[in-house]
Amino acid sequence: MIRVAILISGGGSNMRALVGSMQGDHPCRTVLVASNDPTASGLVWAAEQGLATAAVDHRAFGGDRAAFEAALLEPILAAAPDILCLAGFMRILSPAFIGPFTGKKLNIHPSLLHKYPGLHTHQRALEAEDTQAGCSVHEVTPELDAGPILGQARVAVLPGDTADTLAARVLVQEHRLYPQVLRRFALGQRDRIDLG
């Protein structure tokens, strides 16, 4: 059984999709859901599923990123994950944190990388008058949102779209893409998939 830990910051809709996919003949199981926000509603849902959860409030470390990451690393290392999935995790992690998980850490980002790393991706796509938008799952490397892309899903930008309507349409695709990429990644498949 391949052990998967998932990091969230809020509702964790991607986490819920991942958890829901890891059953039956799936090679993975969720061993921890952790968050930088103790009030993240995704933690409540995960606990209701009987999953182990952990929360380390980054605000308690007054900007000391290293101390926060060391505290967050404790429950994660205790869960001994083989794969770490960032899913709506909104903190930037330093190379020191990424180090132990080199080659086994994934993130989902709501843009067609390498376009629009960082925040406000949908607003930026609208302002650029892009005709397509979407999401990407990539391996996490020290450079933000820049690791090898393992999968992408595309949606059309529609007339009248706002950042919110576009985000909602992309989120549906995120919930399709991430579980498919995780399963393939766990099976050692690294060739990229593209969902329409």
Q: Which residues are catalytic?
A: 109
Q: Are 110 and 170 in contact (CB under 8 A)?
A: yes
Q: Is 14 in the site for ligand GRF (CB under 6 A)?
A: yes
Instruction: Let me know if 30 is exposed, middle or buried by CB neighbors in 10 A (0-12, 13-18, 19+).
Output: buried
Instruction: Let me know if 11 is exposed, middle or buried by CB neighbors in 10 A (0-12, 13-18, 19+).
Output: middle
Q: Is 108 in the site for ligand GRF (CB under 6 A)?
A: yes
| Binding mask of the shown chain, residues 122 to 141, with x at each position contacting ligand GRF by CB under 6 A | -------------x------
Q: Which of 37, 69, 161, 174 binds ligand GRF (CB under 6 A)?
A: 174
Site for ligand GRF in 76-95 (CB under 6 A): 87-88
Q: Are 107 and 174 in contact (CB under 8 A)?
A: no
Q: Is 10 in the site for ligand GRF (CB under 6 A)?
A: yes
Alpha carbons 56 and 119: distance in angstroms, whole number: 23
Nearer to ligand GRF, 1 or 168 (CB): 168
Nearest distance in Å: CB 21, ligand GRF: 13
Q: What is the per-residue DSSP string for 100-113?
A: GGTTSEEEEESS-T
Q: Is 117 in the site for ligand GRF (CB under 6 A)?
A: no
- Contact residues toward ligand GRF (CB under 6 A) are 8, 10-15, 87-88, 108, 110, 135, 171, 174
